[in-house]
Amino acid sequence: METALERELLGLETQFWNAMKTKDIDAALRLTDEPCIVTGAQGVERQEELRPDDAGRRLAAA
């Protein structure tokens, strides 16, 4: 049985991935906290500060 917390987390994760798919930088940044772990084809990286220009480059490459 799914708890309210699990539903909330799944909803937020879905929003984030939809932002990534549609390359919505503002939504992706709003749904990300600092520091965070960023994973991708280049590996894993800890981000202390998220900047829109960095996020834009990552989304463009996705």
- Residue 39, Cα to own-chain centre: how many angstroms? 10
pLDDT at 53: 72
Report pTM: 0.69
What distance in Å separates the CA atoms of residue 41 and residue 39, rounded to the nearest whole number? 7
Q: Which domain holds residue 37?
A: 4-61
Summarised one tens digit per residue, pLDDT across range 9-51 is 999 999 988 998 898 888 988 888 888 887 877 889 888 877 7
Domains in the chain, number: 1
pLDDT at 60: 66
Q: State phi, psi for 23 to the nearest 5 degrees.
A: 60, 40
pLDDT at 39: 80
